[in-house]
């Protein structure tokens, strides 16, 4: 780290260095391990909204490509027993289609369109489906995932694990990670209330109130819009 | 490619063992992967490093395809080249990106020396690794295990894709654990980022 900084100083313009050292740099209070915001770049404090550029090239391209990519993801998932692929790869491709749509049409509209209930239902439902398919043979006196005790042929047992279990989990968790990262770290502690413990309980409650109600309203609106 | 085609392609070297040569396409792909890997390590701009890393993953996916591992290639292309690149770009968009004058990072000599020593150490072990398609490879010299799966997967599960048969049936409990790990990863991200809802 020290090498890099010394190289920077060596290569920099001497006049600019002198100006920096003269003390007129407004960012001189930034600690040395943090990046100093330059011209044309926004600091992360100012950039908490998700960046989006409406492009006349990206939007039609995604409109054309997304149905085919989604179908390909479903094919990889459903045809995993007869060709390379399976639930993991197909679920990732399906999630990538959602990423594509979010990049083209904005993350926030995509977040509203794809409600939190869908993402959670995919992740949780997939895990429960996998466990349920595995436990049915146990209930019938066999071993975990003993496919020949399922009421369906063995091949369909494997495929149902891939489709309803793995593909659902992977696509749901990947979409969830995407939306989570787009939201960023909840630095005001409104996610957990007093989890960060940097304020009094009254302050935390006040912090909690607004985002929670807005979240509830937004989710309800998204659900109403979807149904 | 059907499952029977997979079986035939995999079983062919057993009857007629041929030590495969590195073709021109494979050599160029290997060079591409090495160059993009170096560029990822040396790029000064983080955005450039992320983009070049996506190209590296794409090269690895093509390489896996040439080495007849299409399942691994699909996973590498979808997860590493696609999803990881998008998540890293999203993270960059949420943080500060610094303007850089020069393209490449200044080389840290001790770090390069340490990596070079590790590289040489790994290179010394390459003499014991069997060549691609070599009959001395453990997968062929001890064929009971691999050939049993290749022969029995279709008979026992009715699934053509041996990889999926092994993953979902013969090692089904492992796969269940892996799926739960993916689910737990999503939950852990919620906790780390102090959120209660995904979307």
As a three-state string, the secondary structure of B134-151 is CCCCHHHHCHHHHHHHHH
Of the candidates B3, B90, B179, the beta carbon closest to that of A82 is on: B3
The minimal CB distance from A179 to the residues B97, B176, B199 is found for B199
pLDDT in tens, B117-163: 999 999 999 888 887 777 778 777 777 888 888 888 999 888 999 99
> In this structure, are residues B178 and A155 in contact, taking their beta carbons and an 8 Å threshold?
no
Q: What is the pLDDT of residue B12?
A: 44
Is residue A155 within 8 Å of residue B157, measured between CB atoms?
A: yes
Select from B78, B178, B187 the residue whose CB has the most chain A CBs within 10 Å, as the one to mutate to test that interface.
B78
Decide if B83 and A99 are in contact by the 8 Å CB cutoff: yes
Q: 3-class DSSP state for residue B92?
A: helix
Q: Which of A156-170, B12-26, B55-69 has the lowest mean pLDDT?
A: B12-26
Q: What distance in Å separates the CA atoms of residue A22 and residue A28, rounded to the nearest whole number?
A: 11
Question: What pLDDT sits at residue A66?
Answer: 96
Give the pLDDT confidence score for residue B194 in this predicted structure. 87
Q: Is the ipTM of this complex over 0.90?
A: no
Residue B112 lies in a domain: no
pLDDT the model gives residue A94: 95
| pLDDT value, residue B104 | 83
Distance CA B156, CA B170 (A): 10
Give chain B's mean pLDDT.
Answer: 84
CA distance A147 to A91: 23
Integer Cα distance of B10 and B62 in angstroms:
19
Q: For residue B38, what is the domain's CATH number?
A: 1.20.120.1200
DSSP state of B126: G
The pLDDT score that the predictor gives to residue A138 is 94
Q: CA B25 to CA B9: how far, in whole Å? A: 20
In a shared domain, residues B99 and B155: no
Same domain, B99 and B164: no
Whether B159 is in a domain gets the answer: yes
Report whether B34 contacts B50 (CB < 8 A).
Answer: no
* Percentage of chain B exceeding pLDDT 70: 90
Whether residue B19 is found in the same domain as residue B78: yes
Judge whether B128 lies within some domain: no
Is residue B198 assigned to a domain?
yes
Nearest-Cα distance to chain A for B89, in Å, is 10
Q: Would you say residue B134 lies in a domain?
A: no
| pLDDT digits 0-9 by tens, B72-91 | 999 999 999 999 999 999 88
**B123 located within any domain:** no
Give the end of a domain, one of B106, B132, B156: B106
Which of B106, B169, B196 lies nearest to residue A158, judging by beta carbons?
Answer: B169
Q: Is the CB of residue B153 less than 8 Å away from at least one CB of chain A?
A: no
> Which chain A residues in 184-203 lie under 8 Å from chain B, judged by CB atoms?
184-187, 189-192, 195-196
R_g of chain A, CA atoms, integer Å: 25
Phi, then psi, of B43 in degrees rounded to 5: -65, 135
Measured between alpha carbons, how far is A5 from B105 in angstroms, rounded to an integer?
12
- The number of distinct structural domains making up chain B is 2
Residue B117 covered by a domain:
no
* Contact with chain B for residue A111, Cβ under 8 A: yes
For residue B176, give both structure tokens.
């269940």
Task: For residues B40 and B88, state if they share a domain.
Answer: yes
Name the token pair of B80. Answer: 């590493």
Task: Say if CB B159 and CB B165 are below 8 A apart.
Answer: yes
Which candidate in A44, A173, A198 is best for mutational testing of the B interface (most B CBs within 10 A)?
Answer: A173
- Quick one: pLDDT at residue A102? 92
Which has the closest alpha carbon to A94: A132, A122, A60? A122
CB contact (8 A) between residue A183 and residue B195: yes
Same-domain status, B75 and B20? yes
Please report the number of interchain residue pairs, chain A to chain B, with beta-carbon separation below 8 angstroms.
204
B52 and B99 part of one domain: yes
Asked if the C-beta of A164 comes within 8 angstroms of chain B's C-beta atoms, the answer is: no
Could you tell me if B24 and B89 lie in one domain? yes
Are B25 and B98 in the same domain?
yes
Q: What angle do CA A32, A35, A38 make, to 5 degrees?
A: 120
Q: How far apart are CA A152 and CA A179, in angstroms?
A: 37
Whether the predicted pLDDT of B182 surpasses 80: yes
pLDDT along chain A (227 residues), means of 10: 42 44 48 48 49 84 95 94 91 94 90 90 95 94 91 92 95 94 72 43 41 43 39
Residue B5 lies in a domain: no
The span from the CA of A171 to the CA of A70, in Å, is 12
- Are residues B152 and B93 part of one domain? no
Full domain range(s) for residue B160: 142-199
Residue where a domain stops, chosen among B49, B84, B106: B106
3-state secondary structure of B104: strand
Instruction: Write b or e for each residue in B63-84: b if 16 or more Cβ atoms lie within 10 A of its Cβ, otherwise e.
Output: bbbeeebbbbbbbbbbbbbbbe
Q: Which residues in chain B (154-173) have CB-CB distances under 8 A to chain A?
A: 156-161, 163-165, 167-169, 172-173
End-to-end CA distance of chain B: 38
Same domain, B93 and B162: no
* Between B190 and A4, residue with greater pLDDT: B190
């Amino acid at each position: 780290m020290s090498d890099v900084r010394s190289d920077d100083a060596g290569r920099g313009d001497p006049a600019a260095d002198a100006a920096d050292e003269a003390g007129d740099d407004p960012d001189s209070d930034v600690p040395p391990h943090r990046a100093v915001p330059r011209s044309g770049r926004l600091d992360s404090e100012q950039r908490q909204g998700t960046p989006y550029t409406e492009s006349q090239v990206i939007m039609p391209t995604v409109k054309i490509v997304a149905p085919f990519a989604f179908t390909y993801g479903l094919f990889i998932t459903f045809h995993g027993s007869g060709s390379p692929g399976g639930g993991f790869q197909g679920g990732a491709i399906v999630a990538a289609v959602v990423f594509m749509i979010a990049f083209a049409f904005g993350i926030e509209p995509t977040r509203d369109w794809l409600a939190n209930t869908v993402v959670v239902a995919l992740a949780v439902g997939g895990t429960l489906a996998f466990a349920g398919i595995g436990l049915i043979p146990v209930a019938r006196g066999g071993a975990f995932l003993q496919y020949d005790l399922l009421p369906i042929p063995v091949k369909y047992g494997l495929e149902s694990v891939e489709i309803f279990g793995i593909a659902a989990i992977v696509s749901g968790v990947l979409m969830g990670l995407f939306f989570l990262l787009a939201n960023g770290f909840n630095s005001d502690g409104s996610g957990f209330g007093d989890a960060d413990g940097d304020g009094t309980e009254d302050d935390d409650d006040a912090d909690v109130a607004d985002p929670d109600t807005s979240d509830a309203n937004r989710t309800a609106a998204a659900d109403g819009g979807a149904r | 490619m059907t499952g029977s085609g997979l079986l035939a392609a995999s079983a062919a070297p057993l009857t007629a063992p041929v030590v495969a040569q590195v073709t021109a396409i494979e050599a160029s792909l290997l060079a591409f992967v090495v160059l993009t890997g170096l560029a990822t390590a040396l790029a000064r701009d983080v955005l450039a490093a992320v983009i070049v890393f996506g190209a590296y993953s794409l090269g690895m996916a093509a390489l896996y395809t040439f080495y007849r591992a299409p399942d691994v290639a699909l996973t590498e292309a979808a997860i590493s080249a696609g999803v990881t690149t998008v998540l890293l770009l999203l993270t960059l968009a949420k943080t500060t990106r610094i303007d850089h004058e020069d393209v490449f990072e200044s080389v840290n000599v001790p770090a390069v020396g340490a990596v070079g020593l590790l590289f040489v150490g790994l290179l010394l072990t390459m003499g014991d690794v069997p060549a691609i398609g070599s009959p001395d490879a453990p997968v062929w010299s001890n064929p009971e295990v691999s050939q049993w799966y290749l022969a029995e997967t279709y008979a026992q599960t009715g699934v053509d894709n041996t990889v999926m048969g092994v993953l979902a049936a013969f090692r089904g409990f492992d796969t269940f654990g892996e799926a739960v790990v993916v689910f737990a990863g999503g939950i852990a991200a919620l906790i780390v980022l102090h959120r209660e809802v995904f979307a």
